[in-house]
C-alpha cells in the first residue's frame, strides 16, 4: 500500500512546496496537502494553539488538524536555518513540539532538523534522514532530492524572469506587496489583497520576483546586522526598490503577534520614508480584521498612488 505523507498548507509550504512534494513523490509516497485555508481551518487553529502565538502559527495548527487523520506521516521539520549563517524565526524550530503538545492522536511526525548553519554534509544527512522514512537506498534518496531540487529551482527561475522589465512596458501602476510568503500567498489570510490590487488596474510584484543575488547584495548595504533570513530578504528588497526607483507603491503585509515584523517592518518603513518618496502602507492583519476595512485602505492607497501623477508629488507618499 502506498505510504501517505501529509504537508500542512501553511508557513514555509508557500515557499518550498514544490521541492517537498516532488521529493516525496520521487520516493513513491502519496502526498496529501491540507485544503486551502478556510473559516473552519483558521477557527480550529485558533482553538488549538496558545493565545500568544502569531496567526500563521495558529493557522499551521488548523492545517495539521485538517489532514492528520488522512496520512501515515506528517512532515513538520524542525527548521533552525534555511540559509548559511542565518537564522529563521525561533517559532519554526519549536513547531513540532508545539504541535505534539497541542494536538492529540497524531500520526508519526517527520521532525528532522533543517539547519544550514551547520556544514554542507549536514544537508546530505538531513535529506537522508527524511528520505529514510520512505526508502533505505541512499542513492535513491539523493537522486530523488536532486530531481526535486531541479524542478524547484526551475520554477523559481521562471518567477524571476524579468518581471520588472516586462512590467515597465505597461502603463499600469506597479505595486510591491511584501511580507512573509505565507502572508502573501495565502489569499484567505490576506483577504485577497493581491487580487484586489490587480482589480484596481495595478500590476502586483512580490519579493520572490527579484533575483536572489540582488537581494543579498542590497541587504549588505544595510547599516546593521540582519540576523534573520526574513529580515535580510525584506530589507534587501526595500533597498533594491529604493535604488532602482522602479515601483509606484509598497504595501507591507504583516500579522499581529509577529515578533520578527515588529522589528523588520519598522526598519523597512523607516528606510523607505527616509530614502525615497515611494508611497508606503503597512497592513497588520489579525483574526478579527474586517474585510471592509482592508478594502478601504487598499482602495485609498491605490487612488493616492494614481493621483500623484495628476498632482505630481503634492500628495504625501505616506497617506
Ligand atoms: S516570523 Fe512572525 S509570523 Fe512568521 S512564524 Fe515567526 S512570529 Fe510568526
Give the pLDDT score at 87. Answer: 87
Give the pLDDT score at 117. Answer: 74
Q: Is the pLDDT of residue 158 over 80?
A: no
CATH number of the domain within which 31 lies: 3.40.50.11890
DSSP category for residue 312: G
Q: Is 89 in the pocket of ligand 1 (CB under 6 A)?
A: yes
Same-domain check for residues 70 and 143: yes
Give the pLDDT score at 256. Answer: 87
Q: In angstroms, what is the span from residue 180 Cα to ligand 1's centroid?
A: 8
Give the pLDDT score at 159. Answer: 74
Confidence of residue 6 (pLDDT cuts 50, 70, 90): very high
What is the rounded CA–CA span in Å between residue 33 and residue 171? 39
Same-domain check for residues 118 and 250: no
Same-domain check for residues 133 and 168: no
Same-domain check for residues 125 and 258: no
Q: State mean pLDDT over 65-85.
A: 93
Same-domain check for residues 16 and 152: yes
Same-domain check for residues 131 and 52: yes
Give the pLDDT score at 245. Answer: 85
Q: Is the pLDDT of residue 170 over 80?
A: no
Look at the block and give the residue holding cell 528532522: 112
Same-domain check for residues 30 and 122: yes
Give the pLDDT score at 257. Answer: 87
Q: Any idea which of 163-167, 171-175, 182-186, 210-214 has the lowest mean pLDDT?
A: 163-167
Q: Is 186 in the pocket of ligand 1 (CB under 6 A)?
A: no
Same-domain check for residues 184 and 136: no
- Which of 158, 186, 208 is a domain's end point? 158
Give the pLDDT score at 168. Answer: 54
- Which of 134, 158, 182 is a domain's end point? 158
What is the rounded CA–CA span in Å between residue 228 and residue 222? 13
Q: Is 258 in the pocket of ligand 1 (CB under 6 A)?
A: yes
Give the pLDDT score at 318. Answer: 53
In a domain, 104, yes or no: yes
Tell if the pTM clears 0.75, that is, is over it.
Answer: yes
What is the rounded CA–CA span in Å between residue 34 and residue 50? 21
In a domain, 319, yes or no: no
Q: Ligand 1, atom 6: nearest CA belongs to which residue?
A: 89
Q: In angstroms, what is the span from residue 170 Cα to ligand 1's centroid?
A: 35
Same-domain check for residues 144 and 199: no
Same-domain check for residues 139 and 231: no
Q: Which atom of ligand 1 lies at the shortest distance from residue 261's CA?
A: 2
Q: State mean pLDDT over 40-60.
A: 95
Buried b (16+ CB within 10 A) or exposed e, 109-122: bbbbbbbbeeeeee
Best residue among 81, 261, 284 to mutate for probing ligand 1's pocket (most ligand atoms within 8 Å of CB) is: 261
CATH number of the domain within which 300 lies: 3.40.50.11900
Q: Which residues touch 26 (CB under 8 Å, ≥6 apart)?
A: 143, 144, 145, 147, 148
Confidence of residue 314 (pLDDT cuts 50, 70, 90): low
What percent of the chain shows pLDDT beyond 70? 92
- Which of 103, 135, 158 is a domain's end point? 158
Confidence of residue 227 (pLDDT cuts 50, 70, 90): confident
Distances in whole angstroms, Cα of residue 59 to Cα of each of 15, 73, 186, 255: 16, 19, 11, 12
> What is the span of the domain harbouring residue 21?
4-158
pLDDT tens digits along 251-277: 999 998 898 999 999 999 999 999 999
Q: State mean pLDDT over 140-144.
A: 97
Q: Any idea which of 74-78, 88-92, 101-105 has the lowest mean pLDDT?
A: 88-92
Our count of domains for the chain comes to: 2
Give the pLDDT score at 161. Answer: 66
Q: Is the pLDDT of residue 119 over 80?
A: no
Same-domain check for residues 86 and 209: no
Q: Any idea which of 175-179, 191-195, 286-290 has the lowest mean pLDDT?
A: 286-290
Q: Any idea which of 162-171, 172-181, 204-213 has the lowest mean pLDDT?
A: 162-171
Q: Are 69 and 36 in contact (CB under 8 A)?
A: no
Q: State mean pLDDT over 70-74.
A: 98
Q: Is 91 in the pocket of ligand 1 (CB under 6 A)?
A: yes
Q: Are 134 and 3 in contact (CB under 8 A)?
A: yes
Same-domain check for residues 118 and 219: no
Q: State mean pLDDT over 311-315.
A: 59
pLDDT tens digits along 279-307: 999 999 887 667 888 889 999 999 999 88
Amino acid at each position: 500500500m502506498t505510504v501517505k505523507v501529509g504537508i500542512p498548507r501553511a508557513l514555509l509550504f508557500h515557499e518550498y512546496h514544490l521541492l517537498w512534494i516532488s521529493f516525496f513523490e520521487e520516493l513513491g509516497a502519496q502526498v496529501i496537502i491540507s485544503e486551502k485555508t478556510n473559516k473552519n481551518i483558521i477557527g480550529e487553529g485558533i482553538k488549538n494553539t496558545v493565545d500568544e502565538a502569531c496567526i500563521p502559527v495558529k493557522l499551521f495548527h488548523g492545517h495539521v488538524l485538517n489532514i492528520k487523520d488522512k496520512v501515515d506521516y506528517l512532515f513538520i521539520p524542525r527548521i533552525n536555518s534555511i540559509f548559511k549563517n542565518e537564522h529563521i524565526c525561533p517559532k519554526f524550530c519549536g513547531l513540532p513540539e508545539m504541535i505534539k503538545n497541542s494536538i492529540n492522536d497524531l500520526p508519526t511526525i517527520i521532525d528532522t532538523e533543517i539547519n544550514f548553519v551547520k556544514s554542507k554534509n549536514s544537508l546530505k544527512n538531513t535529506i537522508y534522514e527524511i528520505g529514510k522514512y520512505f526508502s533505505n537506498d541512499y542513492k535513491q534518496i539523493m537522486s530523488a532530492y536532486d530531481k526535486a531540487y531541479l524542478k524547484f529551482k526551475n520554477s523559481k527561475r521562471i518567477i524571476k524572469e524579468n518581471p520588472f522589465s516586462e512590467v515597465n512596458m505597461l502603463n499600469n501602476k506597479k505595486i510591491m506587496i511584501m511580507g512573509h510568503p505565507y502572508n502573501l500567498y495565502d489569499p484567505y489570510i490576506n483577504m485577497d489583497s493581491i487580487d484586489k490590487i490587480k482589480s484596481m488596474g495595478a500590476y502586483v510584484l512580490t519579493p520572490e520576483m527579484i533575483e536572489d543575488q540582488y537581494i543579498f547584495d542590497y541587504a549588505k548595504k544595510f547599516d546593521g546586522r540582519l540576523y534573520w533570513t526574513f529580515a535580510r530578504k525584506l530589507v534587501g528588497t526595500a533597498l533594491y526598490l529604493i535604488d532602482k526607483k522602479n515601483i509606484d507603491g509598497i504595501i507591507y503585509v504583516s500579522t499581529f503577534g509577529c515578533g520578527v515584523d515588529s522589528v523588520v517592518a519598522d526598519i523597512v518603513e523607516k528606510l523607505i520614508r527616509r530614502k525615497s518618496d515611494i508611497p508606503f502602507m503597512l497592513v497588520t492583519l489579525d483574526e478579527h480584521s474586517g474585510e471592509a476595512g482592508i478594502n478601504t485602505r487598499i482602495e485609498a492607497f491605490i487612488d493616492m498612488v494614481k493621483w500623484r501623477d495628476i498632482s505630481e508629488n503634492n500628495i504625501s507618499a505616506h497617506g
